[in-house]
Chain A
Amino acid sequence: NAGVTQTPKFRVLKTGQSMTLLCAQDMNHEYMYWYRQDPGMGLRLIHYSVGEGTTAKGEVPDGYNVSRLKKQNFLLGLESAAPSQTSVYFCASSRGGSTYNEQFFGPGTRLTVL
């Protein structure tokens, strides 16, 4: 099993450009999450999904959109990138049915917005 994979690994954007980050998991997990990691702030939840076709806002959703059209994929979109969105983005997934299940993380995408 590949676990959780993220595409791309690195990206540089100019202010105002758009892009989509792809997360895929092969563990048949119900729940998926997008986080951003900034120095000294830990990980902050952007959006999450508790099942195919459903999404919800997390702690810092502004400027991002998500879609979960297939159970195994969770896409994070930036419609008009801003320098404040320079960060490392992590996707995670977990089994559904319980709030006790640990999350499995992807390797991250390092995004720089100039």
Chain B
Amino acid sequence: AQSVAQPEDQVNVAEGNPLTVKCTYSVSGNPYLFWYVQYPNRGLQFLLKYITGDNLVKGSYGFEAEFNKSQTSFHLKKPSALVSDSALYFCAVRDSWGKLQFGAGTQVVVTP
């Protein structure tokens, strides 16, 4: 069975500082990994995905994620956080049938 874990319920960061949201995964076979963001009272929005190739994946809104096979991690990063980045972030792994398994989510709070 595949799964993802987001070890932090909440991440607090000051505006302008680097932001990292952690995700680790467990799969048999090749991992297909995704990050989504959810703003209050909205549906999830796709940020980026790793399928194969470069370990550093660039996505929307200045976000990027680093795939690390040896550590089975797929951490989301942003060099300089904005107050508008405050949201709920989900990591997900996809199985061969196209179904997504989501982590529990990490609340990001960016303070001015």
> Which residues of A are in contact with B by a Cβ distance under 8 Å?
4, 31, 33, 40-45, 48, 50, 58, 90, 92, 94, 99-108
Contact = CB atoms under 8 A, between A and B. Distances in A.
Nearest to A91: B43
Interface in B1-43: 9, 32, 34, 36, 41-43
Contact of B46 (A40, A58, A102): A102
A39 B46 CA distance: 20
Question: Which of B45, B96, B100 has its CB near the most chain A CB atoms (within 10 A)?
Answer: B100
Contacts of A43: 44, 90, 100, 102
A99 B31 CA distance: 11
Interface residues of B, number: 24
Given A40-B104, A43-B90, A102-B34, A4 B99 contact: no
A72 B42 CA distance: 21
Contacts of B103: 42
Nearest to A3: B43
B112 interface: no
A95 to B, nearest CB: 10
Interface string B65-102: 00000000000000000000000001000111111101
Nearest to B42: A107
B100 A45 contact: yes
A31 B99 CA distance: 10
Given A42-B103, A100-B51, A102-B34, A4 B43 contact: yes
Contacts of A33: 99-100
